[in-house]
Structure 1
Amino acid sequence: MQAIRNYFRPAWSSDAKLDGKTVVITGANTGIGKETAIDLAKRGAKIIIACRDMEKAEAAVKDIKESSGNENVLCMKLDLSDSKSIREFAEAINKGEPKLDILINNAGVMVCPYGKTADGFEMQIGVNHMGHFLLTYLLLDLIKRSTPARIINVSSMAHSWGKINLEDINSEKGYNKNEAYSQSKLANVLFTRSLAKRLEGTGVTTYALHPGVVQTDLWRHLSGPQQFVMKLVSPFTKNSVQGAQTTIYCAVEPTLEKESGGYYSDCAPANCSAYGKDDDLAQKLWELSCKMLGITWE
């Protein structure tokens, strides 16, 4: 019902400005990340896009500058499948940037064949959850010094079909690429919830969101039958500009300043799954993530 109501709601828009603000967006060289970067650049923010492929990132920076008329856009190398790269990126930001007002954890991999990150994590949980968990941890002091600040985690409605397999989070006993993707997106929702509790009273707020069913490069690993279904439903899917709207909403909507830890879709609060509201599961995932990454995050 919520989805139907949202469908008929007038399109969200805001003329909120971000002059003097600094934004980091992961994986913003294509798709909704790039459209988010263009929109926030138009609002006057300094934009840092964090990407693995620097050639694509530099081409994206050129496009973002041209589309937004904002020259204050740059790219920096970040490979979320390698904790060494994440630490190097975070160190460069912490040394080079006096503030970080908005962190958008947007990058992701979707239903890819089984693979492992440099740290031995299954690729989808490793990039979509562990990489962003570590990145947020390493940038948090800077974000706290920049309040009011926001941390936005791009999840998916696929979290609804997900479970967290605490005993085998890296899918070593058996791999189903759809289940692993759903698990990683549920992890985004649970991370947002746990983070909000820990940041209460700091002036830093957190949001998880479903961008919609968006036509993006992430579809490349879908099976033949899945690709066929996507072609059938494509008239009802969103393009990248439409898909970026809920991320932008979470980044700039003034009324969200007092909200934290929630889940959003179609530029409005939405219901997440029962697992997505399970604080006990969220705590266990938090502890496991810290242990696997070798960090202490109280």
Structure 2
Amino acid sequence: MWLWITGIICFIVAVRVIYNRRSGVCTSKKLLDGKTAIVTGSSAGIGKETASDLARRGARVILACRNVQKAQKVADDITGTTGNGQIFVKQLDTSDLASVRKFAKEIIDTEKELHILVNNAGIVAPSVKTLTSDGLELTMATNHFGHFLLTNMLLDLLKKSAPSGVVNVSSDGHFFGKNLVVDDLNYEKRPYPSTFACFGQTKLPNVLFTVELAERMEGTGVTTNSLHSGAVNTEIFFKTNKITDYMFGFLFKLMAKDEALGAQTTIHLAVSEDVENISGEYFADCKIAKRSEQAKDRGLAKKLWEMSEMAVSLTQEDHHYAGK
């Protein structure tokens, strides 16, 4: 019995040690004095660690979060640990298009420059189909539609601030998003899938959005890349009431990267000189990584963009790219 338990413990420790040692780390020493960054979903987890790193480099950082009270505590903590007094909190719920528009308008009205936009906010799919007040499926709205609208509304500011960049936090979960039906992103014509399939079908659009955005931004000085953070011990799995999510959360707590290590690829794409002229790629462990076949489909990326425009009611005033 004890031998069996010891074996399991040794296996868990070995997996954690090996996985962490093989994980990529951002080695750039670049400072960001005079630069402005927005990190969505930065009140915890990878977003918090990303915001903290950017603050240590001297950036003016805006924490764009749903829970402003929680985010303000994080902002105060970042200021205390980095000495950077340019950390601000603004309310943003990416599942609510009105909230996205309000946030984006405030940024446009008050910020002269925007150099880094990190689209990090995300949720695990609920076990049953849930619609937002806009009639959009909750997971797709939070993980894709909200960031799609936000990015489009801020593109003009990003272009004026070039060189600048958009970092889209995706996941290898996008491999589970196969058979994406871009004209039925809200599951009106087909059954609501399993949690993993639903999550994957929101992470695949992150990659496809990046591909199409890179093409539309070509020659503007605005780059964009997506990424897989790896298996990271964050609170995301503990925000639902599903036993399976708690189980994954417990396993990740034992075997996965910590949040600081999980944020390294995001940070790398936001600051590293090595990626200044790279756009439209998918990264993991701070290097270009393999993506699914669907994620390479340029036609699918273009169609997703068009369907997303309709879903978020993108107006002509929101168009700040070289339309095709």
- Fold shared, TM-score > 0.5 on shorter chain: yes
Question: Per the shorter chain, which TM-score range?
Answer: over 0.9
Q: 2:122 aligns with which of 104, 108, 120?
A: 108
- 1:271 counterpart = 2:290: yes
Per mean C-alpha deviation after superposition, the further-off stretch among 23-32 and 8-17 is: 8-17
How many positions carry a matched residue from both structures?
A: 295
Q: 2:80 aligns with which of 66, 74, 78?
A: 66
Residue 135 of structure 1 is matched in structure 2 by: 150
Residue 171 of structure 1 is matched in structure 2 by: 187
Distance 2:64 2:143 in 1: 14
- 1:211 counterpart = 2:229: yes
2:232·2:258 contact (CA, 8 Å) conserved in 1?
Answer: yes
Uncovered stretches (5+) of structure 1, i.e. residues with no partner: none
Which amino acid in structure 1 is aligned with residue 230 of structure 2? G
Give the SS at the match of 2:88: strand
- 1:160 counterpart = 2:179: no
Distance 1:10 1:31 in 2: 17
TM-score, normalization by structure 2: 0.86
Q: 2:273 aligns with which of 230, 254, 273?
A: 254
> By how many angstroms is 1:112 displaced?
2.1
TM-score, normalization by structure 1: 0.94
> By how many angstroms is 1:293 displaced?
1.5
Distance 1:263 1:9 in 2: 16
Distance 1:183 1:10 in 2: 26
Give the SS at the match of 1:258: coil
Residue 48 of structure 1 is matched in structure 2 by: 62
> By how many angstroms is 1:9 displaced?
7.1
> By how many angstroms is 1:228 displaced?
3.1
* Distance 1:216-1:6 versus aligned 2 partners, 3 A rule: closer
Provide Cα deviations, 1:181-205, integer angstroms capped at 9, x if missing partner.
1010000000000000000010000
> By how many angstroms is 1:82 displaced?
1.3
Distance 1:48 1:136 in 2: 15
- 1:181 counterpart = 2:199: yes
* Distance 1:7-1:78 versus aligned 2 partners, 3 A rule: same
Q: Percent identity?
A: 44
Residue 9 of structure 2 is matched in structure 1 by: none
Distance 2:259 2:98 in 1: 31
Distance 2:48 2:245 in 1: 25
Residue 256 of structure 2 is matched in structure 1 by: 237
Distance 1:138 1:155 in 2: 20
> By how many angstroms is 1:71 displaced?
0.7
What value does the CA root-mean-square deviation take over the aligned residues? Answer: 1.9
Distance 2:298 2:71 in 1: 37
